[in-house]
Amino acid sequence: MSKEVGTEDFLRTIGALNDETRLRILRFIDLYGPVCVCDIEAAFGMIQSRISRHLKILKEAKFLTVERRGHWAYYAIRLPLDKFRLDVLKEISYLEMNLPEFKGCCKI
Amino acid sequence: MSKEVGTEDFLRTIGALNDETRLRILRFIDLYGPVCVCDIEAAFGMIQSRISRHLKILKEAKFLTVERRGHWAYYAIRLPLDKFRLDVLKEISYLEMNLPEFKGCCKI
DNA sequence: TTAGTATATCAAGATTTTTTGATGCATGAA
DNA sequence: TTCATGCATCAAAAAATCTTGATATACTAA
């Protein structure tokens, strides 16, 4: 961040973090690298539209990027990440949260 | 932060930041040192119950402390601030926000 | 005591956000 | 083509948050 100008971007970033599900998804992706939506869906036991929405919010807040490959959309931590978002990710890594296991679900 | 355990504290911290008015109040207090509620009320042109509520949220998120002196309650940045909250305050200091002027309103 | 001021809190309405289920759009296989 | 799958998006209900006005508390001065 830092070179951003208005409060709007900052609020979008903060708003993206203001939800426990999104924190868990963010940490999950941070840990398990690029994953597709169905991986998250399966791991978290949540319906697809819900996951999809949270991913969109995290993407718009510039924490994530998507890359589409065939059927699948792979979400990953956006690189490079600015200092503030890195600080946030580190802070999240310290949190005691119950994260689901990762088991790849996509048959590629 | 960092030594905090659950996501609850983190979410309280993030939630406190997830409001433009609170960002402005936080920056205002960061700039103008300990101020009383009526100072903020006067500067921001908002009613007292609204300011009071936001101050409470910022205090519960450990950004602020209160010290009561006679009629007045002086709010200040909590010291010492942990690294994450310091990072946040610095990030907020970069934001282009329109902050009201400070004019002490309390006749002590 | 009484009155006035600064602040906190409550309840109700307004606004925003989250969740769900339905639908639509691609892609790739048959 | 046709069909199934992965994902995005929409609308409506549910839940959370913000704002306001009213009221309560606590302190001070007269």
Nearest-Cα distance to chain A for B75, in Å, is 23
pLDDT in tens, B43-78: 999 999 999 999 999 999 999 999 999 999 999 999
In chain B, where the domains are located: 7-94
What amino acid occupies position B77?
I
Q: Which nucleotides of C are covered by protein (CB under 7 A)?
A: 4-11, 17-23, 26-28
Kindly list the distances between the CA atom of residue B62 and the CA atoms of A19, A57, A69, B21, B59, in Å, as whole numbers in the listed order. Answer: 19, 27, 44, 17, 5
Cα A43 from Cα B51, distance rounded (Å): 42
Confidence of residue A3 (pLDDT cuts 50, 70, 90): low
Cα B23 from Cα B17, distance rounded (Å): 6
Asked if B95's CB is within 8 angstroms of A7's CB, the reply is: yes
Q: Helix or strand or coil: residue A64?
A: strand
Residue of chain B whose alpha carbon sits nearest to that of A27: B7
Selected from 1.10.10.10, 1.10.760.10, 3.40.50.2300, 3.30.60.50, the CATH number assigned to the domain covering B7-94 reads 1.10.10.10
Structure tokens at B16: 């406190």
- CA dihedral (B82, B84, B85, B87) in degrees, to 10, reads 120
Confidence of residue B33 (pLDDT cuts 50, 70, 90): confident
C1’ C21 / CA A104, Å: 26
Whether the CB-CB separation of B102 and B43 falls below 8 Å is answered with yes
* CATH architecture for residues A7-92: Orthogonal Bundle (1.10)
Asked if A17's CB is within 8 angstroms of B96's CB, the reply is: no
Confidence of residue B84 (pLDDT cuts 50, 70, 90): very high
Residue for token pair 């921001």? B44
